[in-house]
Structure 1
Amino acid sequence: GSGEILLWRVHEFDKVEVQPELHGHFYSADSYVIMYKYLFRGWREQYIIYYFQGRTSRILEKGTSALLTVELDEEVGRSAKEVRVVQGKEPKHFLTVFQSRFVMHHGKDPAAEGKKKGGEEAKMYEVHGDNGELDESGKVQWDQCVERVKGIEVEARSYRLSSASTFILVKNKDLFVWYGSASSEIEKTFADNYVEKISGASLNIQKIHEGKENKKFWSAFPKGEEFFPLRRRQNRPRPRLYQCSIGTGVFDVEELYYFCQDDLMSDDVYLLDSGDDLFLWVGKHATKREKRMGMDVGLAYLAKLPNKDKRQSYVRKQDREDKKDGLGLFLVEDGKEPLYFTTQFHAWTDLVMKNGVMVKRDGGRDAGKVGLPVQHIQDILDQQEQKIAYQDILDGNYPEFVDESRLETYLVEEEFQELFGMNAEEFEGLPGWKKDKMKNDLGLY
């Protein structure tokens, strides 16, 4: 991070230089080109050219960023390393270049549209990182972990506050640093350092620990919203996300590391282990088979969890359809994610870019409530075990999560006997090929 940085914002087919004092500030609707020059072994010049593409940046500008990178490489004799960086997947060496100054803002850079920064609208940033290395006194060795932390703008709503993170809230001339009860030391240090750098802007700075908020802090948020402290154990394991897909023709479960919201694809199913609760996220375009097999995988995962007694469910009883306590595997629908789920993702957003403006996506949760009623998947499957008439099966008139690979098991006993000429026990004793042929002839596939 001690080298020289040249940074440009992409504007249509050209690039506009960003002044050094603004290095590290990126906007989600823009793309950038960054040339980093450093000395290798103290004497040999080396170059890395990054082209950074914001989540809602236009395709035109994303393509231009790649072309400009090639042009810059040619200017330095094609000796540079070219690295594509997408928002949410920033590699450590990229963050190290900016030395704890990486902040991601919503929308387009106001300078690109001739607008002034600031205004009366509140802005909030979630700081995300881990503890890294601590010295003997338990304090963060900041110089060894600058690549592990970043600040991302989130909606300035009280329900976005999470005990697991530190937040910076700015409204007019007031700046609040809010420390979640389970936030890491590196997150707190990043926030303090960042605030120190901008403290010359005549800001009224207040540092607040969770549970010690004052009226002025809450007044920065819209009225009538619910705040629920989603508390977390300090030593809780990192959340883990598994993608469940049948895209290759074989049902495959793969863990995704350093995951973010953009990893959730609407044609797949995902299992999220928060370290306490388990959630099965079902994409809008996932197949019935993927949904059912994802449920089976999730329940098997839950059954084999080690040290269950050390886990604690954070899903409130009033938010459960069965009104019961205890750990569970909960269903989460695409576009209707409860806070119990979204707080496992750094800087989750319900905003999308439409016609150059950040707007709330269609559907989704009620902004004023902590969560949506969540169902335990075992309860859903228990409801699916009801018997179904043969004609209803042929017409597709049956519950969504029925296991379509074993439709014959849902037939009433008399109808099964009439259709197959034997009872279910005798049928199970047949060779696999013969069972498949009989099911195929009856349309039970």
Structure 2
Amino acid sequence: DSYIIDNGPYHIWVWVGRNASSKERVEAMRNAHGFLKKKNYPSSTRVTRVVDGGEPVEFKVLFTSWRDDERIKNSHTPSIKNGNGNHTKHVPLKIDASVLHSDLKLAAQEQLLDDGTGTLRIWKVGATSLVEVPSKRKNVLYSGESYAIKYSYTHSGRESSILYYWKGEDKVETDRNNLGKLTMNQEPALNEVHVQVRTVQGKEPPHFLASFRGKLIVLLGQQEDVFPAVFLLQVRGNHIHNTYAIQQPLHRSSLNSNFVFVLKTDESSYVWCGKGSTGDEREMAKSVAKSICEGELVVLYEGLEKPDFWKHITNEGVYANVRSRKSTSKIASIRLFHCSNASGTFKVEETMNFSQSDLIEEDVMILDVFHTIFIWIGRKANKEEKSKALEFATEYLDTDPCKRSPDLPV
């Protein structure tokens, strides 16, 4: 086949596959010029034709995970050299650096752990104790609380786990280390989880959302024994790795034509589909609704609502009813890992929503900016942390489903 790569009014690329037919090769450039006119790009826009296997560097950098086939065939797993220049024996780490998935392309893009079919255990963090959340409510978190969430899954026949520390946006956290203290004292099994991720509401990584199978619901305030009688949810996302639902005020102004909303009442529940929503978004919203609604589920389309729907929504305000173009651009994630053996065991914990103040001089940090991996060594880091961090960085790069080059700068 042949493809048109649109880099805006700056450059249009025409890529021709090695097995493209003669007709496709002839029409490729003509189609590109027609595309240029349809987009109303200036006549000065560059149009360049490239062939499969002869792509220039300027073309390759448009793809965050571009890889050359020949280079991969000749690649080998790098070994670590000691101070004498000799290759040391590779010792497998207990840390699960392998973030593979049955759909490798999706795993590479979203850094997924698995297909989301693992098991979840959730504890609400109190002032002095951890309280496990009942399994029937395990997809509902509250914005005024913090939670410890353990996700267990199987990879290559081996049981693995990841521990998330999630904080709601309305939660006031006076002691950031309190969660770790409670975990160590009350739930010893959680201390055996080597991969730990701190995240806050609205900054959840894709693998966190995938563990909820796209059914994560965040209600406002502090956790209650029963759900509110009537509440409204805005559902965002079109796949299990990017979907979550957040409670909104019961006002007309809370609605938006570009999204899908779930209204739960005592009598029945409604899925309100904005005119700018997609089919995938509607299906994910139905999945969210079914996870908390036991009665009838009514699907409504914007402009065709039933009177029963509006009796629960106040007339306060005017909602956004102009369709907006949904962004599909992908930007490689930048990730920061904290490496420490302060607990007696070498552990790696991913730091979410990080800043320079998260660098700890007693430990080692690993920063992955996709094209380079940086190992930042604190001035007070010990010898084991330095060597183990280098081993982890190598293992992490070697098991990356993006198949990045083993020669990537570290």
Structure 1 or 2: more helix by fraction: 1
Structure 1-normalised TM-score? Answer: 0.45
TM, length-normalised to structure 2: 0.48
**Radius of gyration: which is bigger?**
1
